[in-house]
């Protein structure tokens, strides 16, 4: 008798869990979009390249920048402030940098004021991690 009661109860509980999963998944914030990041990154293209082996311009080539130490691109002349910064570029440091570069490295020679929209910064970081074609 208990077996007949427990099995339907378990089936109902399992069904309730399965219907809750899509609601939990859809409540998650959207992932940053590298394609959107490429569009925002176009503002950076006057000074930076992002392709592997690309040339340095006014700013260094940013290919593979995520995970690298600041001031580590060969052949680029960095400001003294950037050379001494000791920053490693990750999501958090890039987000701060893209918000306001001078707040991360006072005395940087980069004149970019920053991106005020968090979604634009996240998209650019996604693009720098994996440049969209």
- State the DSSP string of 100-114: -HHHHSTT-S-----
Task: Classify residue 84: in a domain, yes or no.
Answer: yes
Determine the structural domain holding residue 46 and report its residue range: 31-129
For residue 118, give the nearest of 36, 18, 7 by alpha carbon: 36
Residue 42 or 27, more confident: 42
Give the number of domains in the chain: 1
Distance CA 40, CA 88 (A): 22
Structure tokens at 18: 């399965």
User: Rounded to two decimals, what is the model's pTM?
Assistant: 0.75
Task: Classify residue 22: in a domain, yes or no.
Answer: no
Task: Classify residue 82: in a domain, yes or no.
Answer: yes
Residue 30 or 104, more confident: 104
- State the DSSP string of 13-62: HHHHHHHHHHHHHHTSPPPP-HHHHHHHHTTTTTT---STTPPP-SS---
Task: Classify residue 122: in a domain, yes or no.
Answer: yes
pLDDT tens column, 50-85: 999 999 999 999 999 999 999 999 999 999 999 999
Is residue 21 predicted with pLDDT exceeding 80? no
Task: Classify residue 94: in a domain, yes or no.
Answer: yes
**Do residues 68 and 89 touch, judged by C-beta distance below 8 A?**
yes
Task: Classify residue 95: in a domain, yes or no.
Answer: yes
Task: Classify residue 65: in a domain, yes or no.
Answer: yes
Please report which confidence band the pLDDT of residue 24 belongs to, taking 50, 70 and 90 as the band edges: very low
CATH number of the domain residue 95 falls in:
1.10.760.10
Task: Classify residue 48: in a domain, yes or no.
Answer: yes
Q: C-alpha distances in angstroms, 38 versus 17, 68, 90?
A: 39, 20, 18
């Amino acid at each position: 008798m208990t077996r007949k009661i427990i099995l339907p109860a378990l089936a109902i509980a399992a069904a309730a869990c399965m219907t809750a999963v899509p609601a939990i998944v859809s409540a998650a914030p959207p992932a940053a979009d590298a394609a959107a990041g490429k569009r925002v990154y176009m503002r950076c293209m006057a000074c930076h390249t992002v392709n592997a082996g690309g040339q340095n311009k006014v700013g260094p080539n940013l290919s593979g920048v995520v995970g690298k130490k600041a001031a580590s691109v060969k052949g680029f002349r960095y400001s003294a402030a950037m050379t001494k910064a000791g920053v490693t570029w990750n999501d958090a440091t890039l987000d701060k940098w893209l918000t306001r570069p001078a707040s991360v490295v006072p005395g940087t020679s980069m004149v970019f004021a920053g991106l005020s929209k968090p979604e634009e910064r996240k998209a650019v970081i996604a693009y720098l991690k994996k440049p969209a074609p």
